[in-house]
Structure 1
Amino acid sequence: MQYEPGLSREQLIDLALHRYFAAVDRKDLGGALGCFHDEALFTVQTSHTRHAGRQAIARMFEDFFAAYATIVHRGFTCTVDAAHGRIAASFEAVLTGHDGSVTTLNNTNFWRVRDGRFQEVHVYMSGANVLV
């Protein structure tokens, strides 16, 4: 399903990088959830994991934030289809555990945006799923 275009290329990048990933890196649950529609779908394609609705997505983020001392997303390469409200980003995720161990993942996310918020997020993760 296509949604009416609503955000420019720059606005889509801002939503994905400066609002969403910045909130995740700050462990700001409210900021991250504010990027999602109530009935959004979040899937980790590489592990066949699905989180449907804001409540399930919130629980996923609560567990993710608790599992790591620091979370850093960096090195973004974005591809944008503003005419259809879609954006993809490849990036590196560096996760530091409470014991100092470091997990580095090379991921790609695909977003479908409706009315300025995420309707769907599809994640391809290079390692074990940390978003369970």
Structure 2
Amino acid sequence: MQYAPTLSRAELIDLATQKYFANVDAKDMDATLACFHDEALFCVQTAFTRHSGKAEIRRMFEDFFAGYADIVHKDFTCTVDEANGRIAASFEAVLTGHDGEVTRLFNTNFWRIRDGKFQEVYVYMSGANPLV
């Protein structure tokens, strides 16, 4: 299903990099979840995992936030389809465990936007999936 576009190119980039990833990095659950529709779908395509609805997405982020001392997403390259309300971003994720071990992932996310929020998120990861 196609949703009517409501965000400009700059707003799509801001939603993905500032409203979403900056709040994930800050481990701000409420602000992170505010980016999603109640019935949003979050899929890690490379690990065959699927989280449907905010309750499942919240549980996924609770485990993710608790699993790492520090989370950083950086070096974004965004591709925007403003006319259809979609955005993709390639980036590096640097995850520091509580034991100091650092995991680096080079990922790409694809988002479908509905009414200014994520309706669908598809993630492709270069390594093991920490979003279970």
The interval holding the TM-score normalised by the smaller chain is: over 0.9
Question: What residue is the counterpart of 1:57 in the other structure?
Answer: 57
AA in 1 matched with 2:129: N
Percent same amino acid among aligned pairs?
Answer: 73
Asked if 1:115 is matched to 2:115, the reply is yes
Question: Once the two structures are superposed, what CA deviation does each residue of 1:71-130 show, in whole Å capped at 9, x if it has no partner?
Answer: 000000000001101000000000000000000000000000000000000000000000
Uncovered stretches (5+) of structure 1, i.e. residues with no partner:
none
Question: What residue is the counterpart of 1:104 in the other structure?
Answer: 104
Q: Distance in 2 between matches of 1:5 and 1:66?
A: 35
Question: What residue is the counterpart of 2:29 in the other structure?
Answer: 29
SS of the equivalent of 1:19 reads: helix
Q: Distance in 1 between matches of 2:64 and 2:18?
A: 19
Query: How many pairs does the alignment contain?
Result: 132
AA in 1 matched with 2:61: F
- Root-mean-square deviation (CA), in Å? 0.3
Uncovered stretches (5+) of structure 2, i.e. residues with no partner:
none
**Alignment TM-score, normalising by the size of structure 2:** 1.00
Q: Note the C-alpha offset of 1:48.
A: 0.4
Q: Distance in 1 between matches of 2:100 and 2:72?
A: 14
AA in 2 matched with 1:46: T
Q: Note the C-alpha offset of 1:26.
A: 0.1
